[in-house]
Amino acid sequence: MTQDEMKKNAAWAALEYIPRDTVVGVGTGSTVNHFIDALASIKHEIKGAVSSSEQSTKRLQALGIEVFDLNSIDSFSVYVDGADEINRQKHMIKGGGAALTREKIVAAVADSFICIVDQSKQVDVLGTFPLPVEVIPMASSYVQRELTKLGGKPVLRAGVTTDNGNVILDVHQLAITDPLKLEQQINNIVGVVCNGIFAHRAADMVLVGSADGTQVIR
Ligand code: 5RP
């Protein structure tokens, strides 16, 4: 079974946990693309979606799912998104698709976060995947120096502008043994919009696709 088939299995398994007649929070990425396809199969049973990126919005709308402005929604039950890495505490690294800021905002509003991944995303310690950090463009050099002081090796992601008009620094060589602390430390650097550690808002449930089926971790 390919990695993409494992992603697809996890994504379709999430349908079982989507409450009907509500708005659904939708993340970004190749795993989420499978989830959007799955969501289209029950589109007449949900009110619509709130989206974490222009990319997901386009796919949702193309499949006939209404996308609501987050500011028009006070609350909703479930946010479904992928991850680049996830540890046993359900802390994640996200932002491989550069959508981390909107993902963190939509996840913050949701009552629960269902993470859909293939088994290759499970790790003991976060940090092998370079940590994405969204930065205001004029602060890029300053933030790189500050991230270096924290022990990382930041690299500007070439040719990428986020949906918010910012740049992404990918921080290599971080062994993230205390994700809660590092998430806060990086947020405190002036010029950082958001970082891809999702520890303060961890997942509540993980659906892990593998060749043996989909494992549910609560
Ligand atoms: C996008 C993300 C994605 O959830 C993450 O990169 C995983 O992507 P994929 O499902 O394509 O492996 O955080 O910003």
Q: pLDDT tens for residues 7-56?
A: 999 999 999 999 999 999 999 999 999 999 999 999 999 999 999 999 99
Rg over alpha carbons for the chain, rounded to the nearest Å, is 17
Ligand 1 center from residue 28 Cα (angstroms): 6
| The amino acid at 129 | F
Classify the phi-psi angles of 112: left when phi > 0, otherwise alpha if psi is within -120 to 50, otherwise beta. Answer: beta
Report the nearest-CA residue for atom 10 of ligand 1.
Answer: 31
pTM: 0.97
Q: What percent of the chain has pLDDT over 90?
A: 98
Residue with tokens 């190749």: 30
Tell how far the Cα of 27 is from the centroid of ligand 1, in angstroms: 8
Determine the pLDDT at residue 165. 98
Tell me: the pLDDT tens digits for 163-172? 999 999 999 9
- Ligand 1 mean position to 99 CA, how many Å? 8
34 lines ligand 1 (CB under 6 A): no
Atom of ligand 1 nearest to the CA of 196: 13
Atom of ligand 1 at shortest distance to CA of 81?
4
**What would the pLDDT profile of 69-97 be if each residue is shown by its tens digit?**
999 999 999 999 999 999 999 999 999 99
Main-chain dihedrals φ then ψ at residue 162, nearest 5 degrees = -75, 170
